[in-house]
Structure 1
Amino acid sequence: MRIALTHNLRLTDSEDEAEFDSRETIDALTAALERLGHRIEVSGPASRTAARIEAYSPELIFNTAEGRRGRFREAFYPALFDELGFPYTGSDAWVLAVTLDKSLTKLMLSEHGVISPRGQFIDDIVDLKLDGWRFPLIVKPNFEGSSKGITQDSVCEERGRLRALVEKTLARFPAGVLVEEFIPGKDLTVAFLEKAAPERQGVLTPVEYVIDEAELSKRRYRIYDYDLKSVHHEAVHVRTPAQFAGHILQRAQDMARKAYRALGCRDLGRIDFRIAEDGQVYFIEINALPSLEPGAGIYAAAALEGLHTDGVLAKVIESAALRWGLHDPGKRRNRPPRKTGPLRVGFTFNVKRIKPEIDGRKDEEAEYDPPQTIQAVREAIAAAGHEVIDLEATTELPTVLAATPVDVVFNMAEGIKGRNREAVVPALLELLDIPYSGSDPTALSIALDKAIAKRIVRQHGILTPNFMTLTTGKERLPRDLKFPLIVKPNAEGSSKGVHRTSVVDTEAELREAAREMIAKYDQPALVEDYIAGREFTVGLLGERRPKVLPPMEVVFLAKEAHPVYSFEYKQDWSSKIRYDVPAQLEPGQLKALERAARECFIALGCRDVARVDFRM
């Protein structure tokens, strides 16, 4: 699709330009939109915007422009686009004009049951009411965003200081200020991405802005002020999901849903709430034109829905295109012929939405990839000049694949369930005659089943520890198994089920561990000799004669009787292990490791890419 990107470029560090986008943000948005397969024209100065847009004649305008001055500034660009007759992303001029006015927004939302702190709009000091307030109060500009004009001194605890504070703020922001009761508590934000969570009307999971305790100790009040946003931004991080009681999070989402609907927001948005010490949820403000800079809260919230950065922009475009009745010419109905130049690359993956606990609880998505990894891979594919089409490997993938023309699929989907889960996507691609990267269904099924894989590599003369599988935990142990032994799930990856207690020294420990594992993972347990020694992992690229990459050693830092590269270590590795790349090996050791890795790759029928783990 031909898209124009409208913006205001931040040229200085002055507070006047705080709402504008940096060159880094504009470049990131442009690159992301291009990776999505669109042709992008970046707008220039406002005085030439109309002429440039008419000359470029975009099918859609992706708007991030804040406008330069006045209470109507955010509405200027959408009003211009409406007048010129060009479709655009985001809310219309009316919504942006209303939501920039904090006081008017609070008044409108109060009629819909959205609770906010008591406040008063002041544009003339004579209108200030000095009585009836519950101190402390906070005084802030009524028509500004990005925390402009908000400092630690914006909080007023004494009636005698209020008038002077309002006068001072009005002098800087004469359009008007908002005086409202200050709510001691913490900040919560609820983002809106219309097409990301249709079952919740686009309202995403709340996220929390957390101020580092060291920085907080220097401040009188816990507020996300201008200094934190512009100077000490490294002292604030986004916690996902927010750590509040479930009923508080639900209340915030319900209020956000009412607010977005009542105000008529479109495509994307963000609402900031204050959670009081007693758990009461207060609406603070809404941003119908939220920041899309790298690291913005909307990306963190969208990641919980399985969306990476490019995916957020894709959802914004999808929502706008549907509203305006646009047809994306990139989505052709007939599958294109195979070609050798820049390709339409389908990208299949599973998104990690459930963060596993270190102790192994909630590990059902441990093998899936986080949005950050997915984003990095798609950027790498796009950097080679290809168009990337996201294809999350859900139960809807067969329907989506059949309707989405691609030249090839880059597959890193793990599958959903079953011992053949890794083979499901490649098998589907073969059924649809779509070329794909990586090993075929047979190799993936065999490699996931540790016992079968061990039998095959043993037949090819590759050493592997003595082993057996237990399906009930009651089977007789063969004589060639010698304690200590290690117990692990037979068909899991990412060290799922492997803990320090997985190394057992007695038959009683073995049977207890096996029974627990069989019950939890509903599959046989693999029992094998524990091999004391150094641990290595070797990557390979290619096919018939794969290139063996330099081995990496997993170095255990703690002194343990039976160290293992456990699930706990993979979740929190920084103080427990060290990765040495390349591994320090004697020439003979290196050759033996490379030969064993290559022979495993060939014996199992792997293609394109694989990793083999060894103990030496």
Structure 2
Amino acid sequence: MRIALTYNLRLSDSEEEAEFDTQETVNTLAGAIERLGHRLERFEVSGPASRTVARLEAYSPDLIFNTAEGRRGRFREAFYPALFDELGFAYTGSDAYALALTLDKQLTKLILSKHGIRTPGWQYVEKLSELTAENLRFPVIVKPNFEGSSKGITQDSVAETLEQVREKVAKALEKYPAGVLVEEYISGRDLTVPFLAAVDNDFDGVLAPVEYVIDPEASQGRKYAIYDYELKTRREKAVSVRAPANIPAKMSEDVRKMAQKILQVLDCRDLGRLDFRVSDAGVPYFLEINALPSLEPGAGIYAAAELEGLHLDGVINSIIQSAGKRHKIRDNKSRQGRPARKSGPLRVGFSFNVKRVKPSATAETVQEDSEAEYDSPNTLQAIREAIASWGHEVIDLEATAELPTVLSSTPLDVVFNIAEGFKGRNRESQVPAMLELLDIPYTGSDPATLSLALDKALAKKIVRQAGILTPNFQLMVTGKERLNKEFTTFPLIVKPVAEGSSKGVVTKSVCYSEAELRDVVKEIAGKYQQPALIEEYIGGREFTVGLLGERRPRVLPPMEIVFLDKAEKNPVYSFQHKLDWTDRIRYDAPAKIEPALLEKLRTAARNSFMALGCRDVARIDFRMDDKGRIYFIECNPLPGLTPGWSDLVLIAQGAGMDYRTLIGEIMAPAIRRYKEREARRAQTEHPSGTATPPLNKVVQRIEEQTAQANAAAPAENTPAPRPELKS
């Protein structure tokens, strides 16, 4: 699709430009739109409208992605949508009417109050002589009626007496002569409720409430808990977004239903943001709505969208999808129906499972780890940006039940796969198996290796046959089975047999008696619905090794996980460590080890990789006993790729490899396999070995042969013989 991005660029820190987009925001939006496969042109609209009109008509976009705020007047946000309507261009966001209405705070409140929406009491004032404040409860807050981004709101905006109100209104009218709002100040805290119309949820696209948390140090000396202009612009680093807001579930539901009704009454489209104030008594009040909300990185809309499984590009795509559906735009260059590319940038499918449930654990037990192996929207965003940075178009493929249909109808060149699947010990192989069925090249190991490596017991059997040491191990299904004879001494360690990301591995996984062990086995078998793996506890140093490549994998320098808590008698790299490793462990990447040990680890890692049939990427974990012997613990052929956090990423950093390069290294073998597949197809189509010539050369040959035939024609009116075209 041809998309025009219209915006006002912020060139100064003046309050006049507070609602404009920074260059960072513009670049972020432009990058996301281009990564989604659209052709983009940027339109900074602060100059003469005639120039904008001329450029838009020349470019003739399919859709305008609009963030332009306008420069002046009570209808400034409505100006550009009204212009787009007049020119006949489709655009994102609400129309001119809704934008003019929502910029007028008092008119919005007036309309909503007729529909039973609870708002603080208010009075709109254009002239000081109009101020009465008779029916208002003090304290009150004085704010500009036609401004956003907390413009004109400071700690000094709150008045506690009528005399203070008159003084503050007089000052405010000097600066904002269009009118001010005198509103009852609700003691409590602020909530923001974002809206994305394309999100399919129970609230018609209204997302979960989020709240802005102010650093306690920044709150010192501030009498009123308000998110004012200073915090929003000059001290933005003192404010963080909490998603979801820390409120009861019933209140969250009530606020979302209220927001749903407000959006319907005001006819807001595609996206928006609604601000509420929750009183100390727990009563929510509507404050205002922004139908043209900020899309700057870190905005609350992204935090709320993460709870729905959307990363940044997903948010932008949802806005485009909503506007496209509303304007009935049919993208002639949509992915469906296009043939696979033979050269140039590739269409890279990106298969994943998105983490919507945040994992948690206490010191002894796991509270929530159902989606621990899935990837957060932030990680997904980082990966897709890295793929796109190599010049490829990225196509999201969330591994849901609809994926088979999506794959069969979406032409793809190659797939970057990090999907974990749904359930069972073969879950990691589900997506690769589908891709093999459809003959689509993909990154990473094949289904056999993924199934084998996920089952820790089977993986140990295979690497043992390759001559690599593993701890002695045994499987238990109920906890009542006889303990193997080789387990003569404790401690032993118990873990789920087919889980990753240290799921089920906690402090109490290290057992010091048979009774303790059987209790843990029962707990694991019940919680994870799979056998428990019992193995010797190897009490020495812990290492993890990353490998990249295929037949001759590159072994990256090992990383050591150093346990810092000396009170832990027999430490394990547990689920708790992965949630919060501060002050508990240290990552040495590369590990500080002597050459002999380095060579042992490299050899064991390479041999394990080859024995299990790994491909493209893997991370293999080892423990060393007090005699210096290296033991294989497990292999992860689908390792985490969270920037600055996942083990493989830290290993790569220690080897001097940045994140973009790491993603490129993983992708490179799959692209080679794609090219080999294309060569085989060409050979099958042209068994003589002569590939189909490019179209422009065919045309050139036709023209040459036609010219030769015409030159040899016997007479002007005698038709020339048809040239024989050779393949």
TM-score norm. by structure 1 comes to 0.99
Question: Could you tell me which residue of structure 1 aligns to residue 35 of structure 2?
Answer: 35
Question: Could you tell me which residue of structure 2 aligns to residue 553 of structure 1?
Answer: 560
Question: Could you tell me which residue of structure 1 aligns to residue 680 of structure 2?
Answer: none
Q: Name the CA distance, whole Å, in 2 between partners of 1:335 and 1:7.
A: 32
Q: What is the CA deviation profile of residues 11-53 of structure 1, one whole-angstrom value per residue up to 9, with x for unaligned ones?
A: 1100110000011111111111111111111113441211111
Matches within 5 A, 1:522-541: 522-541=529-548
CA RMSD of aligned residues (A): 1.0
Q: Deviation at 1:218? A: 2.2
Question: Could you tell me which residue of structure 1 aligns to residue 89 of structure 2?
Answer: 86
Poorly superposed stretches of 4+, deviation over 6 Å: none
Q: Is the 8 A contact 1:197 1:203 kept in 2?
A: no
Question: Could you tell me which residue of structure 2 aligns to residue 417 of structure 1?
Answer: 423
Q: Is the 8 A contact 1:331 1:405 kept in 2?
A: no
Q: Is the 8 A contact 1:542 1:609 kept in 2?
A: yes
Question: Could you tell me which residue of structure 2 aligns to residue 245 of structure 1?
Answer: 248
Question: Could you tell me which residue of structure 1 aligns to residue 389 of structure 2?
Answer: 383
Q: Is the 8 A contact 1:197 1:305 kept in 2?
A: no
Residue type at the aligned position of 1:204 = L
Q: Deviation at 1:328? A: 2.0
Question: Could you tell me which residue of structure 2 aligns to residue 478 of structure 1?
Answer: 484
SS of the aligned residue for 1:199 comes to: coil
Question: Could you tell me which residue of structure 1 aligns to residue 578 of structure 2?
Answer: 570
Q: Percent identity?
A: 65
Q: Name the CA distance, whole Å, in 1 between partners of 2:27 and 2:70.
A: 19
Residue type at the aligned position of 1:425 = V
Q: Is the 8 A contact 1:91 1:265 kept in 2?
A: yes
Q: Deviation at 1:416? A: 1.3
SS of the aligned residue for 1:203 comes to: coil
SS of the aligned residue for 1:78 comes to: helix
Q: What is the CA deviation profile of residues 421-451 of structure 1, one whole-angstrom value per residue up to 9, with x for unaligned ones?
A: 1111111111222211111111100000000
Q: Deviation at 1:334? A: 3.2
Q: Name the CA distance, whole Å, in 1 between partners of 2:27 and 2:40.
A: 11
Q: Is the 8 A contact 1:358 1:572 kept in 2?
A: no
Of 378-387 and 425-434, more deviation after overlay is shown by 425-434
Residue type at the aligned position of 1:24 = E
SS of the aligned residue for 1:294 comes to: coil
Correspondence 1:346 to 2:367: no
Correspondence 1:592 to 2:600: yes
Correspondence 1:219 to 2:222: yes
Q: Is the 8 A contact 2:353 2:421 kept in 1?
A: yes
Q: Deviation at 1:159? A: 1.9
Question: Could you tell me which residue of structure 1 aligns to residue 609 of structure 2?
Answer: 601
Q: Name the CA distance, whole Å, in 1 between partners of 2:340 and 2:377.
A: 31
Q: Name the CA distance, whole Å, in 2 between partners of 1:402 and 1:260.
A: 37
Q: Name the CA distance, whole Å, in 1 between partners of 2:535 and 2:66.
A: 59
Question: Could you tell me which residue of structure 2 aligns to residue 467 of structure 1?
Answer: 473
SS of the aligned residue for 1:272 comes to: strand
Question: Could you tell me which residue of structure 1 aligns to residue 409 of structure 2?
Answer: 403
Q: Name the CA distance, whole Å, in 2 between partners of 1:329 and 1:343.
A: 19
Residue type at the aligned position of 2:612 = L
Q: Is the 8 A contact 2:118 2:286 kept in 1?
A: yes
Q: Deviation at 1:336? A: 2.1
Q: Deviation at 1:131? A: 2.2
SS of the aligned residue for 2:360 comes to: coil
Q: Is the 8 A contact 2:340 2:412 kept in 1?
A: no
Question: Could you tell me which residue of structure 1 aligns to residue 499 of structure 2?
Answer: 492
SS of the aligned residue for 1:200 comes to: coil
Q: Is the 8 A contact 1:467 1:529 kept in 2?
A: yes
2:453 is matched with which residue: 440, 447, 454?
447
Matches within 5 A, 1:251-330: 251-330=254-333
SS of the aligned residue for 2:386 comes to: helix
Question: Could you tell me which residue of structure 1 aligns to residue 550 of structure 2?
Answer: 543
Q: Deviation at 1:400? A: 1.6
Q: Deviation at 1:330? A: 3.4
Bigger-Rg structure (1/2): 2
SS of the aligned residue for 1:399 comes to: helix
Q: Name the CA distance, whole Å, in 2 between partners of 1:235 and 1:299.
A: 18
Q: Name the CA distance, whole Å, in 2 between partners of 1:504 and 1:333.
A: 55
Q: Is the 8 A contact 2:361 2:368 kept in 1?
A: no
Q: What is the CA deviation profile of residues 502-541 of structure 1, one whole-angstrom value per residue up to 9, with x for unaligned ones?
A: 0011101100110111000000000000001111111111
Q: Is the 8 A contact 1:415 1:424 kept in 2?
A: yes
1:114 is matched with which residue: 114, 117, 142?
117
Check 1:396–1:9 CA distance in 2 against 1; reply closer, same or farther (3 A cut).
same
2:463 is matched with which residue: 453, 457, 462?
457
Q: Name the CA distance, whole Å, in 1 between partners of 2:312 and 2:278.
A: 28
SS of the aligned residue for 2:516 comes to: helix
Q: Is the 8 A contact 1:439 1:608 kept in 2?
A: yes
Q: Deviation at 1:123? A: 0.6
Question: Could you tell me which residue of structure 2 aligns to residue 518 of structure 1?
Answer: 525
SS of the aligned residue for 1:121 comes to: strand
Matches within 5 A, 1:431-442: 431-442=437-448
Q: Deviation at 1:407? A: 1.0
Q: Is the 8 A contact 1:343 1:387 kept in 2?
A: yes
Q: Is the 8 A contact 1:331 1:404 kept in 2?
A: no
Q: Name the CA distance, whole Å, in 2 between partners of 1:600 and 1:197.
A: 45
Q: Is the 8 A contact 2:191 2:277 kept in 1?
A: yes
Q: What is the CA deviation profile of residues 376-403 of structure 1, one whole-angstrom value per residue up to 9, with x for unaligned ones?
A: 0000000000000111111111122222
SS of the aligned residue for 1:273 comes to: strand
Q: Deviation at 1:150? A: 0.1
Q: Name the CA distance, whole Å, in 2 between partners of 1:259 and 1:374.
A: 33
Q: What is the CA deviation profile of residues 325-379 of structure 1, one whole-angstrom value per residue up to 9, with x for unaligned ones?
A: 1122332433623534210111011111100112311210000001110000000
Q: Deviation at 1:217? A: 2.1
Correspondence 1:363 to 2:369: yes
Q: Deviation at 1:198? A: 4.1
SS of the aligned residue for 2:361 comes to: coil
Q: Name the CA distance, whole Å, in 2 between partners of 1:515 and 1:339.
A: 54
Q: Name the CA distance, whole Å, in 1 between partners of 2:69 and 2:412.
A: 37
Q: Name the CA distance, whole Å, in 1 between partners of 2:340 and 2:143.
A: 59
Q: Deviation at 1:133? A: 2.0
Q: Is the 8 A contact 1:212 1:236 kept in 2?
A: yes
Aligned length: 616
Q: Is the 8 A contact 2:340 2:411 kept in 1?
A: no
Question: Could you tell me which residue of structure 2 aligns to residue 579 of structure 1?
Answer: 587
Q: Is the 8 A contact 1:352 1:366 kept in 2?
A: yes
Q: Name the CA distance, whole Å, in 1 between partners of 2:547 and 2:334.
A: 35
Correspondence 1:177 to 2:180: yes
Check 1:555–1:325 CA distance in 2 against 1; reply closer, same or farther (3 A cut).
same
2:98 is matched with which residue: 89, 95, 98?
95
Correspondence 1:331 to 2:337: no
Residue type at the aligned position of 2:580 = D
